Amino acid sequence: MKRTLLAVTALLLTGTSLAQTKTLTVYSGRAKTFVDPVVQQFERQTGIKVNVRYGTDAQLVAALREEGSRSPADVYWGNSVGALGELAEEGKFSKLGSALTRNVSDDYLPDSRTWLPTTVRFRTLAYNTTKIKPDQLPDSIMDLPKMTSLKGRIGWTVSYPSFQDFLGVMIAQQGEQKTRAWIEGMKALQPKDYKTSNVGMLEAMRAGEIDVALTNHYYIQRVNRLNYPIDTYFFKNGDIGNLGNATGAGILKTSKNQGNAARFLSALVARDAQTFFLSVNFEYPVIGNILQPTTMLPYADVIKRSPKVDPTVMPKNIEKAQKLLRDAGLL
């Protein structure tokens, strides 16, 4: 293992290739829209052909478990800390050297150094500015079930990984009993479930079907380009409703292309890719000195609003969160 890590470090420092083939296989829990431009640029710059298998985090994690040592995957690019944490706990990833991790913000870099954060998103509440005023909304997401005036006017995406990660952290902070009570309280408000379609949910808000929605910050930024009457509401500082969550990538121990995989991870946190993630996807970068749109809170401000959370609690509680949702008849 030491020799492998030293070789990967040498690759990143010298640019020489260790791989016998000029190919790479990536399992991506990220949608093609977010991934393909970066993949194509990497192929142009390196001459390495990248084969991408797309799917949900759950589908790809299950595939990696079933394939075991036979998996063709070199890199897993996850959509949430929960999925990345599950694979890391199972020992699926190679440890990354400092050449990969040293320029990345340590806010979401795991202590194990087994995967690399690539972007950061924050949970938030979207609201229709023609129907709701910010001072009408609660300070904490834990009080949202008390908003009886919003009955039938709330949207959420209970199958979306970031929502389930959020519930996993709620279990860690508040316990299963309070989390169950929150879910039941929300259910009593008859929210509309948009499955995994945050875009569809905000389109429904524009159409007047709902007035508020639990979502990630970047979806609101995207529809704002279309002048939708939708804005972002952050709860009080440290509230779980502002939970920060990272996307990230790890190199599979079973990869036969460790060198190419390391080059790929390095490309994901390079300035070009990080600028793309911010300017096109409105996700926060994990490296410094990238100019942000004025419509987004500076990273230094928004990170203060997010609770300080040990990222390892998410994977430990995902199954519990899913069970609570099933018990409530929501999954």
Pairing assessment for the beta strands 154-156 and 212-216 based on DSSP bridges: parallel
Q: 98-107 — which CB contacts under 8 Å span 24+ positions?
A: 98/9, 99/8, 99/9, 99/12, 99/13, 99/266, 100/8, 100/12, 100/262, 100/265, 100/266, 100/269, 103/269, 103/287, 104/269, 104/286, 104/287, 105/286, 105/287, 105/288, 107/244, 107/303
CA distance 216 to 221: 10
- Three-class HEC string of 267-293: HHCCHHHHHHHHHCCCCECCCCCCCCC
Query: How big is the chain by its Cα radius of gyration, in Å?
Result: 20
Cα-based distances in Å from 6 to 9, 16, 109:
5, 13, 20
SS3 295: coil
Inter-residue contact 97 to 270 (CB < 8 Å): no
CA distance 171 to 149: 26
Burial label for 56, CB within 10 Å (0-12, 13-18, 19+), is middle
**Dihedral over alpha carbons 193, 187, 232, 319 (to 10 degrees):** -70
Identify which of 116, 137, 117, 118 has the alpha carbon closest to the alpha carbon of residue 126: 137
CA distance 167 to 29: 19
Does residue 127 have a known ligand-binding role? no
Does residue 160 have a known ligand-binding role? no
What residue numbers does the annotated binding site cover?
218-219
Annotated binding site for Fe cation, which residues? 218-219
